[in-house]
């Protein structure tokens, strides 16, 4: 059946719906708790997860590069879950991470702001004004993460297959709708080609992660694509040394059989940095 991704505004009740869908479909719900349970397998500590999860890097300092590498590692964990199938990827840009895959059912939950405030404040026994502050902050952070990291408007409905206003529909009817959509034969038919694409996405992400971890490169001003274990680089670097380093790093990544180097060397003076 389809891989399901969920994007949600805070206070919409999306998590309980996701739990109910997972139970009905016998899917694995990959949320923050699930990621934390598996983080050690990827060299990620609870402190790292807390610091970087769904927070956009800015790629300016060495610390930013480390944050970006940690984010890429989180994405590798999500991709590994997706590879196993029968999963719900909860948040973390899953709909954009699996871009191009036709067996993915992309879900979005929203609701009017004040209704979300009321529900959240009631659920958490919280002052409404504090709830407003937290929801605004959370919406801004999640929307900023998608905008910066995936270059997409978080609220654009074209990024999703189903968009639910949880103030208008009951949780039960939403769950039934998602379960029915996940069983659509069209999604099943796309599974074989989509899983082949997923392997290419995983390899590209492995390459990106290793490049971000390396101190042999200054900035990553290039595009990484993969197809059948062949990695193609395009864009530019600042020296032949960086170019050779990038190719060398990539050739050492697991499952890479060939590297197509289309990088251009563009001179850059460190005195221009601000």
Domain boundaries, the chain: 3-182, 202-272
Instruction: Report whether pLDDT(89) > 90.
Output: yes
What three-state secondary structure class fits 263? strand
Distances (CA, A) of 271 to 62, 104, 240, 265, 268: 17, 46, 19, 18, 9
Q: Looking at 9-13, 147-151, 232-236, which range is the least confident one?
A: 147-151
Q: What is the CATH number of domain 3-182?
A: 3.40.50.300
pTM, rounded to two decimals: 0.88
Give the pLDDT confidence score for residue 222 in this predicted structure.
79
CATH architecture of residue range(s) 202-272: 2-Layer Sandwich (3.30)
Give the pLDDT band (50/70/90) at residue 270: very low
Report d(CA 273, CA 186) in Å as an integer.
50
Are the CB atoms for 53 and 74 separated by under 8 Å?
A: yes
Please tell me the total number of residues recorded for the chain in this structure: 274
Give the pLDDT confidence score for residue 61 in this predicted structure.
61
Give the pLDDT confidence score for residue 56 in this predicted structure.
67
Q: What is the mean pLDDT of residues 174-200?
A: 93
Q: Are strands 104-110 and 3-8 parallel, antiparallel or unpaired?
A: parallel
């Amino acid at each position: 059946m389809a891989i399901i991704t969920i994007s949600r505004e805070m206070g919409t009740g999306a998590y309980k719906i996701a739990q109910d869908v997972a139970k009905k479909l016998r899917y694995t719900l990959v949320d923050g708790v699930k990621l934390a349970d598996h983080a050690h397998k990827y060299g990620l500590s609870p402190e790292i997860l807390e610091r970087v999860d769904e927070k956009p890097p800015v790629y300016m300092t060495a610390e930013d590069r480390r944050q970006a590498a940690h984010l890429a590692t989180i994405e590798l964990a999500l991709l590994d879950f997706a590879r196993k199938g029968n999963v719900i990827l909860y948040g973390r840009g899953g709909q954009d991470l699996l871009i191009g895959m036709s067996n993915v059912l992309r879900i979005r939950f929203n609701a009017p702001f004040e209704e979300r405030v009321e529900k959240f404040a009631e659920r958490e026994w919280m002052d409404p004004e504090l709830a407003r502050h937290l929801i605004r902050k959370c919406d801004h952070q999640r929307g900023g993460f998608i905008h910066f990291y995936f270059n997409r408007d978080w609220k654009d409905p074209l990024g999703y297959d189903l968009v639910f206003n949880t103030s208008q529909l009951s949780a039960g009817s939403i769950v039934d709708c998602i379960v029915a959509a996940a069983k659509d034969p069209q999604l099943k038919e796309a599974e074989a080609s989509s899983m082949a694409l997923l392997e290419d996405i995983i390899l590209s992400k492995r390459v990106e992660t290793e490049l971000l971890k390396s101190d042999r490169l200054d900035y990553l001003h290039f595009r990484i694509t993969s197809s059948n274990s062949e990695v193609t680089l395009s864009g530019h670097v600042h020296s032949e040394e960086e170019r050779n380093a990038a190719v060398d790093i990539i050739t050492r990544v697991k499952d890479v059989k060939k590297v197509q180097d289309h990088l251009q060397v563009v001179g850059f003076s460190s005195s221009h940095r601000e």
